[in-house]
Amino acid sequence: MPKWTPVYLPADVPAPKGPYSPAVRAGDFVYVSGQTPRDPVTGEMAGDDIASQTRSTLRNLERVLSQAGASLNDVVSVTVYLQRSDDWDAMNEVYRQVFHGPFPSRTTVGADLRGILIEISAVAHAPQAG
């Protein structure tokens, strides 16, 4: 039996298509799987530029964190995957509107994302009550 628990999304959000959990809670930490700029209910893409896709992806990240009893303020580490490395400045501008100093640690890498411009995963430290 694992020493962590999966985090499930609300009933109106379809389950992931692949064999993974949207997030898992392991003690006081929440590990969020890569979030994308797709609407979690409809699957529709949110915009065709990096700014709109970054905003949407961060909203999806926030939604999953909330289901785990955490928030963006609890995030200690972020990994950003960019389809185009030239989008770094525009992504960073939106990122700064959401995360404020002191900033979580972050790694940004280029990746082939199959039709999207950005994916973001995160780790949050959110002690459980009790």
Specify the pLDDT at position 16. 86
Instruction: Please provide the distance, in angstroms rounded to a whole number, between the alpha carbons at the two ends of the chain.
Output: 22
Maximum pairwise Cα distance, the chain: 46
Whether 37 is covered by a domain: the verdict is yes
Q: What residues make up the domain containing 69?
A: 5-13+22-125
Whether 106 is covered by a domain: the verdict is yes
pLDDT in tens, the chain (130 residues): 789 999 998 888 888 888 999 999 999 999 999 999 999 888 899 999 999 999 999 999 999 999 999 999 999 999 999 999 999 999 999 999 999 999 999 999 999 999 999 999 999 999 987 6
Whether 47 is covered by a domain: the verdict is yes
pTM: 0.95
Specify the pLDDT at position 99. 97
Specify the pLDDT at position 130. 63
Whether 9 is covered by a domain: the verdict is yes
Whether 130 is covered by a domain: the verdict is no
- Assign residue 39 the CATH number of its domain: 3.30.1330.40
At a CB cut-off of 8 Å and minimum separation 6, what does 95 contact? Answer: 54, 58, 80
Write down the residue that tokens 């209910």 correspond to: 41
Sign of the C-alpha dihedral computed for residues 52, 121, 33 and 59 taken in this order: negative
Split into its structural domains, the chain has a count of 1
- Residues composing the chain: 130
